A and B are shown apart, each in its own frame.
Chain A
Amino acid sequence: DGGITQSPKYLFRKEGQNVTLSCEQNLNHDAMYWYRQDPGQGLRLIYYSQIVNDFQKGDIAEGYSVSREKKESFPLTVTSAQKNPTAFYLCASRNRAKSYEQYFGPGTRLTVT
């Protein structure tokens, strides 16, 4: 089955620690995206990548970092500089040659205390 996997589903960290969220896709999509979702707010774009070894900041990139060393993988690191890291994080991907819609993974809920 083709799809997007995110792990872990739930993640707990202490304040001041960096944490990396995994996103893997086997859809052969070239573009990948990271969003953050908070209660009562729409999805907000953190980072996106259209090709391997290239990525751009979204609307709320401060305190986050990404890498895109492989087409299938787009990990997101939430650093200690992110002031309000507790949120639901969603990864998405898109086939740039075929369509404009993005397909989402199941999400990771991060709680920082």
Chain B
Amino acid sequence: EDQVTQSPEALRLQEGESSSLNCSYTVSGLRGLFWYRQDPGKGPEFLFTLYSAGEEKEKERLKATLTKKESFLHITAPKPEDSATYLCAVQAYETSGSRLTFGEGTQLTVNP
């Protein structure tokens, strides 16, 4: 069974204080690992897809990396508008319908 564990559950940062969110996964053959951002009361917004260990993707202050067991979402010099819940999901090669398995998310708060 595919499993995704995100840590920490919640993270408070001061504006400009860089940090990382962790996503550990267990999957029988990783097809892809996905990061989403979710604001309160809204649907998740797609950020990145990572396919193989060593791959990195960047968007503004966010950088996602992937190893064989985990992914990190690095946030550099965050701003208050980066406050959101960040979700990680995995997809296995043998998954019917390309379904995703989600972690519970990390709630990030960036204080001004």
Given known contacts A40-B104, A42-B4, A100-B31, A107 and B43 CB-to-CB distance under 8 angstroms? yes
- Whether a CB of chain A sits under 8 angstroms from the CB of B78 is no
- Whether a CB of chain A sits under 8 angstroms from the CB of B91 is yes
- Whether a CB of chain A sits under 8 angstroms from the CB of B34 is yes
- Whether a CB of chain A sits under 8 angstroms from the CB of B80 is no
Q: Among the interface residues B4, B34, B41, B99, which one has the most CB atoms of the partner chain A within 10 A? A: B99
In the assembled complex, the CB of A92 is this many whole angstroms from the nearest CB of chain B, namely 8
Given known contacts A48-B99, A56-B96, A100-B91, A41 and B104 CB-to-CB distance under 8 angstroms? yes
List residues 68-106 of chain B with CB under 8 A from any CB of chain A. 87, 89, 91, 96-105
Number of A residues with CB within 8 Å of any CB on chain B: 29
CA gap between A100 and B90 in the complex, in Å: 10
Chain B hits for A6, CB < 8 A: 43
In the assembled complex, the CB of A106 is this many whole angstroms from the nearest CB of chain B, namely 5
List residues 28-69 of chain A with CB under 8 A from any CB of chain B. 31, 33, 40-45, 48, 50, 56, 58
Interface residue range, chain B: 20 to 34
Given contacts A42-B103, A104-B43, A106-B42, 8 further A-B pairs with CB under 8 A are A33-B97, A41-B104, A42-B101, A42-B102, A44-B102, A88-B41, A96-B98, A109-B41
* A-to-B contact residues, CB < 8 Å: 4, 6, 31, 33, 40-45, 48, 50, 56, 58, 88, 90, 92, 94, 96, 99-107, 109
* B-to-A contact residues, CB < 8 Å: 4, 31-32, 34, 36, 41-46, 49, 87, 89, 91, 96-105
23 A–B contacts from the bound complex (CB under 8 Å):
A31-B97, A31-B98, A33-B97, A33-B99, A42-B87, A42-B101, A42-B104, A43-B89, A44-B102, A45-B99, A56-B96, A90-B43, A92-B43, A96-B98, A100-B91, A101-B32, A101-B49, A102-B34, A102-B46, A102-B100, A104-B36, A104-B43, A107-B42
